[in-house]
Amino acid sequence: MALADDVTNRISTNLLRELTNQGSTSATSVNTTVLGYAVADASAEFKSETGLDLDSSLASHVAAGVVGVIYYLYSYSGVETSTALKQRQRWERLLLKIDSTEGAGRRLLPSTNSTLSPTAEQRNARPDMERSRFGGYTLNMPRGGSDDPDINDLAS
């Protein structure tokens, strides 16, 4: 089933007639050309945001696609309404959700096919840089006679 069919099956004919025939109070049917433009725009944005083709056999894609089509129909009017804004926010949330679970934004779990294995950590072992072989390297601090109080405090 195409997205246009999903929209017409889920959204009332009266609302679709108003949204697809904006400015025409005498319209008696849904303008399928305008509906087709909204479907194309929603499908294109779905593809660009998620990296996936909108699949009408997946319920999550259909749910997002219908909201996207309605948003585009509202936006074609050129009038910013709270309903159009809510549809846009809902559309963006659904796109983000699909992108994070199915699309290019999903988390890739780390994996390797390396034959190397990490060395087991020894309990209470010091790292190389803290071993005693570095103990002989100490700074020779000046002893007294300096005007710097910090150095004199260390010397005493």
DSSP-assigned states of every residue in the chain: --HHHHHHHHS-HHHHHHHHTTT-TT--S--HHHHHHHHHHHHHHHHHHHSS---TTSHHHHHHHHHHHHHHHHHTT----HHHHHHHHHHHHHHHHHHHHTSTTSPPPP----S--PPPPPTTPPPGGGSGGGTT-------S--S-HHHHHHH-
Instruction: Please check whether residue 41 lies inside any domain of the structure.
Output: yes
Instruction: Please check whether residue 152 lies inside any domain of the structure.
Output: no
The CA distance from 4 to 139, in Å, is 79
The crossing angle, in degrees rounded to 10, of helices 13-20 and 32-50 is 90
State percent of the chain over pLDDT 90: 49
Instruction: Please check whether residue 69 lies inside any domain of the structure.
Output: yes
The crossing angle, in degrees rounded to 10, of helices 59-75 and 13-20 is 40
The predicted model scores a pTM of 0.66
pLDDT along the chain (156 residues), means of 10: 90 92 88 95 93 91 95 88 91 92 73 79 66 58 57 49
Instruction: Please check whether residue 140 lies inside any domain of the structure.
Output: no
pLDDT of residue 131: 56
Instruction: Please check whether residue 149 lies inside any domain of the structure.
Output: no
Exposure letters 90-103 (e unless 16+ CB within 10 A, then b): bbbebbebbbeebb
At 87, which amino acid appears? Q
Instruction: Please check whether residue 89 lies inside any domain of the structure.
Output: yes
Q: What is the mean pLDDT of the chain?
A: 82
Contact 45, 67 (CB under 8 A): no
The CA distance from 54 to 69, in Å, is 12
pLDDT of residue 73: 94
The CA distance from 142 to 155, in Å, is 7
What residues make up the domain containing 96? Answer: 3-101
